[in-house]
Structure 1
């Protein structure tokens, strides 16, 4: 167990004086002094060698605590500080800050693999003060088995940044963080630990503190210091603007973005929305750029720098631009509401650092709840799926890769990886070179806990809807959701939000902007990129398919994504389960014609025939689409990708590619008279994984077609 050291008053006074010197070097100001709460955290770490959890608002100075503590500990002969940080942006900012204080900091992450060995050599030589690692490294077999034990034995301080990620009660739970529980338990006695976060309610705080205190012998450390400060952000002016249509919301951004102070972030809920919104705003003459998890690492860094330096008005971003991003931003605007007040507070916390006033605007959308439901569906898998995975590993005499497991378990790659990481920490499986193996240890499916987490998520969604409707102080509402309250169980009104009268947000939009936004949103057409490679390990499912797809579909088209702001709304309504089957609505029929007109300029040859993907759920819709195209283009419908085995459900295997290919092959087959060398238009209603169109296109090519052009009304991706 960790034992706090005792120190004399003289030792503590000397340590504080040294800490003040290091702080001044860190911030570059001769008048800088530590606040009492900052010193209390530093004292616990560097003098008493305790474990501490610090829950403090963004901008409070958490990084100053662990950098100053690092200097004190290193001067006392301690080993290097290990900081676990979730984002590269955070690492870059922290390395720059450390250098200002004369702290030698390095990072090990996925972008600098070629530097890992030299960095390890530097660590062994005592030339590194701070090592920053991503949580993903903790689950890498080589790092876990070779590097991690040495770090645990020799580090002087362990820092867990964004510690709410440890807790599955938290809004941003990350399975890789579960590995930290093992690391914490293996730390030698007397190694201090600091966990920090700016967003945690009491339940998450208690959960993280409990995990922070666990030791190798199973005992729990009651001496963990838990420091919670007020989460009020005095610079933030919160407001909500309710607008009915996507056109009005886009127009509001076009009309009012330039009015916002300085530079900032426009948050969207999906990658597609960031691209669509950024494109529209650029066309309106605003200096913006799209940013998401799909943005290349070098480009992300360049965009972050452009925002920090004020060279762009805004980054239109997903939550990938979130934790740890440190800049002076004058505003944050959310186009669409996050699924919980805690997640929302995390995002708005990017604004108001280094400035007295920052504007925070939420533009809620009708489709927000559909997006929340989609992300909620990606939670921990059902027990039978977990048991299937454990059985597959137990029956194998060699490690199984994730790709191979996909052929045994109907789970997508990301959910499967996340589940395996949780099982790894729970001791049921282990990641080794070549894949995953079973440990043979018993494992219990904690259905009650998973149900409680799901119920908590539902309550958070309702609380977010309450934030939109409340006529009381918005900052107080957020603080109370984060359990940041006084003795009476309430927080004080901020006096700065739209409900308190501290800020007035206009909902006015110009007719010209609405018209231009409407034109932008009504522009149909999304490219369907063809599948080019068969999934790995299909031989396990009895399919002799592997490698490159030699003859398949060419690039196709859909009217829109289901998540799009424009036609996406009409398509979401069309494909709701309670919407009856029927012909293509006139507005979407015109959009199809517009897509075909634009697309035809890129054809090497005009379609000679049409093949329809038979639908069990919307036969009228897909047949009406094909027949309408046949009439307009004067091209015959020559057959169908027919349902051969109706016992296979329409979306069977959709969770991962291998299972989906097998299901599509079982369910359907080609029933068409394909003209030799023909260019075939392959028509479907909507695309989920793309494998139905791919498998059908391969069959059509094998039947003699020269090319296949897929067309659908909607795509889910």
Structure 2
């Protein structure tokens, strides 16, 4: 039986909940499991780990706990969350309960100073912080210690991100261990997640200190979502999937989210559905912040039928009446899939969830899997560069010296920072000199885990058993049982029917080749440090013009056609007829369009006078035949090839400076090609198979311009990305 004091506390907690949910009758009541968490935090000042399904009410726990702790004189609650969209939702929700919430994240830098002043004045009840702030030197050294000393409650939202066993590991989260160590005794800590299997739960509990202490509370509930109806629909190709969406989107309840695996696919689907009369918006990692906020607001207000989104939207969206989630392509992890579909049906009795797997899914999984933690050799080389630097090295200055792209380099440095091997300071990064061990066994295990998760997604799409039970078992839910609602338990809710009109339109849309290839205009920083005397803007007389490609390898139209042709195991064959025809069509459209070479076109330049190919050791027949076909159809001479002096350099997915280092001195314009260029006196088409960074095209164009070409117009089959 409750003590009187706890009974009073619960009554006050229910009152706060009523304000939070806008219940004027005052009848809102916390569920028993929610109250257990609040009681542990407020009455007992314990640490708690809550693993509960999306929609369980985790935010109600920390907002109610905050109100009660503040009323008793406690300091502000600090919520660490990676979800910018959810931050905006929660600031508004907190205000309804009389809680003054503020956030510090990448989208509101202009407010940081005033927010910190409000915190110092005791005016902030809740501070939402993005994990990236924890590793910012100024914030870490100046703000975080004071914040830790004053914090009344620490909340780690989406706590699975702290574990590199999980699907969404974020190294910035590991910095939380420092904050936890600095918390005064008796400050409660709440870690929450909806998507953690037993292994991730144990890892998070260990790292946050919510599992080792005997008085820590772990609340793990059943993960079934009774409002969700899970379905899988296999369709022949991308055109059928887009046509199906166009025919059936209006039949799905309310408004919702259509997830794609890549930015290119999101943009393709958005454009197509708009052509078919739908009000939809695109939401990706490339979407400007203001446009993201507008898209979120439009979905919240049901002014769009759907957001066409990548995982940039991911977990971070709180719309209780979201009516459907469709995946156009399968995520690589059942845990990530459960997280994303959990956005639907939180405040409605029924929501539709539909997976439309595609044949391009596994190629996209492989690409992202290749961006895992770097090899020990690369890590050691980075540490060696920092050790010999004699002071802080900025990321732009370090990048040319290490064979890693900036995003991977930064992520690796954050892990090393948490491990104590490096430290981020003003001006860049330094090596600490502390011993460091490459945990090869752990990284190999994580890689195997990714493969296991991919296999699980194949099995999810193919299973004839209950789909919700399958997902629950993937999250080690002991309460997993058949749901009675999915297409296997009940009956398929959707047919593969598509109208001929929508299918024809989708085929035309996806069959339309041609994307612009932006030329390189600036040399990357740091080239002199690796012995290349180039910097600043590339002179106009040495640049390539804007080029063209048939498509992106990541799109669902031409990407599906080009991936088998350009894959690492693909045989070297003459260019297929349909690809050659498409290349000619792209050239024809290019010539007619603005910036083309048709007489009278805006910004027109002279028509090309010949075709030049880039030599290839891996696909010589493909590239030569493509150049020859274009020359034949365009009645242009095939002038020759830019050749490699030796073996073509192989710098896999490295940064720009390292690519240029590999290309330095590797290419040559043979004498016969130089003589031909001098004779024809005009711009040339430069033909290659694909471009990832644009540097091979830039270097080849500079050499051709130097040999007399009046302009260089790149044409490639595909763009990576």
- Normalising by structure 2, we get a TM-score of 0.95
Matches within 5 A, 1:153-302: 153-213=149-209, 220-302=212-294
1:580 alignment partner in structure 2: 571
2:44 alignment partner in structure 1: 48
**Secondary structure, in 3 states, of the residue corresponding to 1:45?**
helix
Determine the C-alpha separation between the residues in 2 that align with 1:220 and 1:540. Answer: 48
**Secondary structure, in 3 states, of the residue corresponding to 1:598?**
helix
> How much does 1:609 deviate?
2.3
Determine the C-alpha separation between the residues in 2 that align with 1:677 and 1:435. Answer: 49
**Secondary structure, in 3 states, of the residue corresponding to 1:254?**
helix
**Secondary structure, in 3 states, of the residue corresponding to 2:588?**
helix
Matches within 5 A, 1:18-167: 18-29=12-23, 30-167=26-163
> How much does 1:638 deviate?
2.6
Greater shift, 271-280 or 694-703, is seen at 694-703
Give the counterpart of 2:686 among 682, 686, 689.
682
Determine the C-alpha separation between the residues in 1 that align with 2:379 and 2:570. Answer: 34
Determine the C-alpha separation between the residues in 2 that align with 1:35 and 1:390. Answer: 51
1:596 alignment partner in structure 2: 587
> How much does 1:409 deviate?
1.5
C-alpha deviations, 1:406-454, integer Å up to 9, x for none? 2221111111111000000010000011110000000001111111111
> How much does 1:98 deviate?
0.5
Determine the C-alpha separation between the residues in 2 that align with 1:46 and 1:547. Answer: 58
C-alpha deviations, 1:492-529, integer Å up to 9, x for none? 21111000115521111122221111111110001101
1:351 alignment partner in structure 2: 344
C-alpha contact 1:58 1:198 (8 A) present in aligned 2: yes
> How much does 1:477 deviate?
0.6
Determine the C-alpha separation between the residues in 2 that align with 1:390 and 1:496. Answer: 54
> How much does 1:666 deviate?
3.4
Residue 711 of structure 2 is aligned to residue 711 of structure 1: no
C-alpha deviations, 1:109-134, integer Å up to 9, x for none? 12222221111111111111011111
C-alpha contact 1:213 1:222 (8 A) present in aligned 2: no
Count residues in correspondence: 701
> How much does 1:642 deviate?
1.0
Determine the C-alpha separation between the residues in 1 that align with 2:568 and 2:409. Answer: 27
C-alpha contact 1:495 1:502 (8 A) present in aligned 2: no
Determine the C-alpha separation between the residues in 2 that align with 1:587 and 1:634. Answer: 19
Determine the C-alpha separation between the residues in 1 that align with 2:681 and 2:12. Answer: 81
1:657 alignment partner in structure 2: 656
Give the counterpart of 1:697 among 696, 701, 708.
701
Residue 41 of structure 2 is aligned to residue 16 of structure 1: no
Unaligned runs of 5+ in 1: 1-6
1:556 alignment partner in structure 2: 547
Matches within 5 A, 1:296-335: 296-327=288-319, 328-335=321-328
Determine the C-alpha separation between the residues in 1 that align with 2:466 and 2:652. Answer: 47
C-alpha contact 2:244 2:497 (8 A) present in aligned 1: yes
C-alpha deviations, 1:342-397, integer Å up to 9, x for none? 01101101110111000000000111111111111111111111100111111111
Determine the C-alpha separation between the residues in 2 that align with 1:503 and 1:584. Answer: 42
C-alpha contact 1:212 1:224 (8 A) present in aligned 2: no
> How much does 1:701 deviate?
2.1
1:534 alignment partner in structure 2: 523
C-alpha contact 1:653 1:659 (8 A) present in aligned 2: no
Structure 1 runs of 4+ aligned residues shifted over 4 Å read none
> How much does 1:319 deviate?
0.8
Residue 507 of structure 2 is aligned to residue 518 of structure 1: yes
2:601 alignment partner in structure 1: none
Matches within 5 A, 1:307-706: 307-327=299-319, 328-486=321-479, 491-501=480-490, 504-551=493-540, 552-601=543-592, 602-603=596-597, 604=604, 605-646=606-647, 649=649, 651-652=650-651, 654-671=653-670, 672-673=673-674, 674-675=677-678, 678-706=682-710
> How much does 1:570 deviate?
1.8
C-alpha contact 1:209 1:224 (8 A) present in aligned 2: no
Unaligned runs of 5+ in 2: 598-603
Determine the C-alpha separation between the residues in 2 that align with 1:387 and 1:659. Answer: 17
- Normalising by structure 1, we get a TM-score of 0.96
C-alpha contact 2:205 2:212 (8 A) present in aligned 1: no
**Secondary structure, in 3 states, of the residue corresponding to 2:383?**
helix
**Secondary structure, in 3 states, of the residue corresponding to 1:290?**
strand
